[in-house]
Structure formats: C-alpha cells, structure tokens
C-alpha cells in the first residue's frame, strides 16, 4: 500500500487534492481512499488530508502516520507544524514553492535522503498563471505523479476534470501539465548532476 499525506491550510483545496489523487488511482484500476483531518474548520487553519493507494481492497481507516509521500501545499507550515512526522527514510517530498530546500531551512532534513525523491515546484505560481488563482492542488498532484511515477499525467488530468467544474478544470489541467514538465526537467537535471 502507498500512503500519502497532504498538508495545507483551509481554503487551499487540500481535501480536494486527496480526492483527485484517489480518483486518478481509481481511474488506473487501483483501489484508493481519501479522507481529511481538520483541526478547526476555518480558512487558513492547518488541514491534513490522506490518500491510500493499493492493488487490493483497503481496509485501514486510520490517519496516515508513516507516509510514503508528503505533499506540502503551504510552505508556511514547514516550521509551524511537524509536517515531516513519520516520513519514511526513502519517502517522497514535494513542496509547493519556488525556493530551494536550503532557502526553506530544510538542508539538514533533506541531507542523506534520496535527492531524486525530494523536490520543490512553484505550483501556486503555475496555477495563478493558468487559472488566475494560486490554488496549487492540481499542479502539485501532477508534479507528484512525475516525481513518483505512481500515476500517469493522463490519469491526473482525468481526475481534475472529474472533480472540478468544467469552467475551472481546463486551467487546472494546463497548470498540471506545466508542473509535471517542471518536475520532469528538475529530475533530469538531478540525474545529470555530478555525484560526489
């Protein structure tokens, strides 16, 4: 089973992100489940959403304590909430920001972890460019698909169209494509970088 935890704030589409991720997995013929965990239900309050993906039926219903992947929609949470709790040593980390891990003050955290599983992507900027709003969830999911190889971009696009109203879905699909391409380019640069 592959488990994902998504951190963000109320009003940023964190719950929708987990639902779209599970739809994309379902569209690929897998079993999936998505559910949120709310602190206080107001805009701006920290929100966590969970998604599980498996080839077999999923019986577990508890929150994801040891995620295989973390998606951080709001980088202001990085030093306010323990978003990294339980992340597996070889887990994936994708943060919505144009800044580097060093600029975010996370150099020590990412040191020793597999570099090809840790990236930042300016998902809010890409979303704003295509939708006029900085809601990063669709772009972040596409970036995650590129980073992990867990899902295809086509499945993410289908899930976006299934979940979002038609008037906003197409802009989000364009943002998703750009985020996917961004991550692919970043991963290519990591692969080509000299080691040692």
Q: What is the pTM of this model?
A: 0.94
Range of the structural domain that residue 101 is part of: 2-192
Q: Answer whether 176's CB lies under 8 Å from 136's CB.
A: no
Task: State the CATH number of the domain containing residue 95.
Answer: 3.40.920.10
Classify the C-alpha dihedral 153-156-160-161 as positive or negative.
positive
Q: Answer whether 68's CB lies under 8 Å from 26's CB.
A: no
Which stretch of DSSP H or E encloses residue 119?
Answer: strand 118-121
pLDDT at 61: 87
Q: Is 143 left (phi over 0), alpha (psi -120 to 50) or beta?
A: alpha
- Distance between CA atoms of residues 20 and 61, nearest Å: 18
Under DSSP, is residue 74 helix (H, G, I), strand (E, B) or coil? coil
pLDDT at 169: 97
- Distance between CA atoms of residues 116 and 133, nearest Å: 29
Q: Answer whether 8's CB lies under 8 Å from 74's CB.
A: yes
How many separate domains does the chain show?
1
Q: Answer whether 163's CB lies under 8 Å from 20's CB.
A: yes
Across the 196 residues of the chain, what is the mean pLDDT of every consecutive 10-residue run?
A: 95 93 97 83 82 95 94 93 93 97 93 93 97 96 97 98 95 98 94 74
Q: Answer whether 37's CB lies under 8 Å from 49's CB.
A: yes
Residue 55 per-residue DSSP state: S
pLDDT at 193: 78
- Distance between CA atoms of residues 101 and 94, nearest Å: 10
């Amino acid at each position: 089973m592959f488990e994902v935890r998504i951190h963000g704030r109320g009003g940023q589409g964190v719950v929708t992100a987990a639902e779209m991720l599970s739809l994309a997995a379902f569209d690929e013929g897998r079993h999936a489940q998505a559910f949120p965990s709310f602190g206080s239900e107001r805009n701006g309050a920290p929100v966590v959403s969970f998604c599980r993906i498996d080839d077999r039926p999923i019986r577990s219903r508890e929150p994801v304590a040891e995620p295989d992947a973390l998606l951080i929609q709001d980088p202001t949470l990085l030093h306010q909430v323990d978003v990294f709790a339980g992340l597996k040593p070889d887990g994936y980390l994708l943060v919505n920001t144009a800044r580097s891990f060093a600029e975010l003050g996370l150099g020590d955290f990412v040191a020793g972890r597999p570099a090809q599983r840790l990236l930042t992507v300016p998902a809010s900027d890409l979303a704003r460019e295509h939708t006029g709003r900085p809601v990063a969830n669709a772009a972040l999911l596409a970036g995650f698909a590129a980073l992990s190889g867990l899902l295809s971009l086509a499945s993410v696009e289908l899930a976006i169209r299934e979940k979002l109203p038609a008037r906003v879905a197409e802009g989000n699909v364009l943002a998703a494509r750009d985020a996917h391409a961004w991550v692919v380019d970043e991963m290519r640069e990591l692969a080509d970088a000299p080691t040692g």
